[in-house]
Chains A and B, each alone.
Chain A
Amino acid sequence: MRAVAVVGTGQTRHASRRDDVSQPELVHEAVCAALADAAMTPADVDAVLIGNMELFEGRALPELWVGAGALASGVCDTVLVVGFGKHSEGHTQTGMALTDPFWDRSVASGAVGNFALSVSQYVSERGVTEEQAARVAVKARRNAARNPHAHLQRADLTVEEVLASRVLAHPLHLLDMCPQSDGAAAVVIAAGEIARRHNPRPAWVKATATRHDQCYIGDLDKRLLRMPTLRDAAASAYRQAGIDDPLRDLDVAEIYEPCTYAELAWYEALGFCPDGEAGRLVDSATTEMEGELPVNPSGGVLSTNPVGASGVIRVAEAALQIHGRGGARQVPDVQMALATGYGVYAWADVIVLGDTP
């Protein structure tokens, strides 16, 4: 198997409405940026993998996984991976409610209600406070203010403002939730020597893991607490990458956190802290920009969410930290970076990138 690396990344400006571009033009904006970043032209690309919200594929990372596999096996030398979403031209919440027409469509609660149900279990068992969740929201929007692509940028957001924002579904406030954005992201991955030619610091793919679970949401017990897909995927990826202690061994993480409480739950599922310690981890500022393991320097999904691109954005942001091209959101001297994808508790993707093959 050949070593493969992310050699270029590109993103659009993400916003609630991008009326200035059509969906293909949105993709064009991200792809041009990624190719320029990789010092490539379209003629240099052997294959394109593109996904969006429709089948949830751009949200997760299987397309990157497949792309990495094609590269590693020698089928292709360079692959362009694109995710996009233009929510202002769709009906995301209605789409999310189009579940099994015989079972739960008539009693669907939409994305926010669904998260809130899981959060009630998480809060009940872990005892995290609304303030601890709000701190995640503040961190995300403050980090986003350093990211020129981010949709919601609020350097001065306070915990009090988060708690004063209207309740969407108890206990989730408006500012506990991700937005819906228009945007696209693209990454260029390349094999071996080609990767080295196109980037002085390629972000080598050290590990990838994808896990899926049963399809009905009621099949998944205590989903936010247990999240077996993410726990299993992380364990496999850490084994592949030789990571014993993720908090120590990782330099930065870009995790797919659809709401503040999910970020806390993922800290536990990803082994950043023992179960029950996530509230304390956020209180200790460990995951802030200046902390031991900065989580989501980009501002995360909480700040930017073109759903079909949100998974690819995580990989792009993790990669550019290794490339050293993070600008104002650059974490110093990143050698090992984590990116995750997530979907409705039933599946999870974990990828580890490193500065050496």
Chain B
Amino acid sequence: MNENVMNFNYNGDNPLDSTGVPRKNLVVFFLIDTSASMKGKKMGELNTIMEELIPEISHIGGADTDIKIAVLTFSDDIQWMYSIPMSAESFEWNRLNASGVTNMGKAFEELASKLSMSSFLDNPSMSLAPVIFLMTDGFPSDEYKKGLAMLKSNSWFNYAVKTALGMGEDADDKMLAEFTGSPDTVVHAYTGNQLAKLIKTVAVTASQIGSETYSDGINGISGKSKQELLGEQLQKLTAEEDDDFTFSTGW
């Protein structure tokens, strides 16, 4: 063999031997109220719909985005369902139970501590701004302003696509709008059917918008932020109302 050929480095040169394309990270945070008032039908609906929802979310990213899920529950205590965000493809939903009070402020503080590159958002490739979905049926029992202020000073939170779902009569939409930054991105469910539908629509729409940038397409950058796009779409989607039993009378 001549010298040229002998010195050839042919290690690792199989053009077919690839790993997956590097994917961008998108963490979808679910902040879920598991206080006692959620007991019964609301929790049942929520658990069922979340189980069904996750496989659907996992397809949204395609080959470009790895969608991960992190679930934080708050009642007397705050608790992550898993200690790190898990890929939606392999996420298994643990059914939640309801009891205790609504320590939403503590949940905000905990979320703020995890919204960092050294914590939950540590993808070596790039991350997309996270999607944050808050679900509650009541007013915080604790002082939430401090936690909210911590979030508002976190730039991941500021870039995040934020949405909130109020359940039943007691949820305070004004406070939820403080969290998301605008009333457009707060939706309200009064009935079980609405709850199931809204969780799904809101989570899928927010994840879709979160995983893309130019969702408005045609004019390139639309001039609208993701948050504004989400507000617009949610307003359109929730315009269609339907009736069934209401939470306040049903249980």
Partners in one complex: no
Q: Which residues of A contact B (CB under 8 A)?
A: none
